[in-house]
Amino acid sequence: MPSRDIVEAFAKRLEDGDFVGAIEHFYTPDAATYENNAAPTVGRENLVAKERGVLAATKEVKAVRVGPSLIEGDHVATRWTFSFTNAEGVTRTLDEIAWQTWRGDKLIEERFYYDPKQLGR
């Protein structure tokens, strides 16, 4: 079960824009993430590579937590707003719920739930 301090430290990394650092520091080597119902991305190295790809394709990414993270045992739920600005200066905003499963102070699984139509606006 993660402590409140660990969950807050993870959220701060994202809010500070250190997305790759958050993965490297908080995810287990065998962690998996799921985008809605898509097949998972498995393994911390693959997660880092995927995140670097997203960051390379954008000019800026901002993360804002909406309300507190909810912790119940090994599960954490957080509502996020992510803003992605492309090279042309167009910003798209994604409202998302992250559902996490932790093993102690490390993330083992994360599922992202959002309406993909948000990115097309």
pLDDT tens track for 34-83: 999 899 999 999 999 999 999 999 999 999 999 999 999 999 999 999 99
Rounded to the nearest integer, the mean pLDDT of the chain is: 95
Q: What pLDDT is stored for residue 121 in this prediction?
A: 57
Given a cut of 80, whether residue 97 has pLDDT beyond it is yes
* CB neighbourhood size of 59 (10 A): 13
SS (H, E, C) the chain: CCCHHHHHHHHHHHHCCCHHHHHHHHEEEEEEEEECCCCCEECHHHHHHHHHHHHHCCCEEEEEECCCCEEECCEEEEEEEEEEECCCCCEEEEEEEEEEEEECCEEEEEEEECCHHHHHC
pLDDT confidence tier of residue 89, bands split at 50, 70 and 90: very high
Q: What pLDDT is stored for residue 117 in this prediction?
A: 87
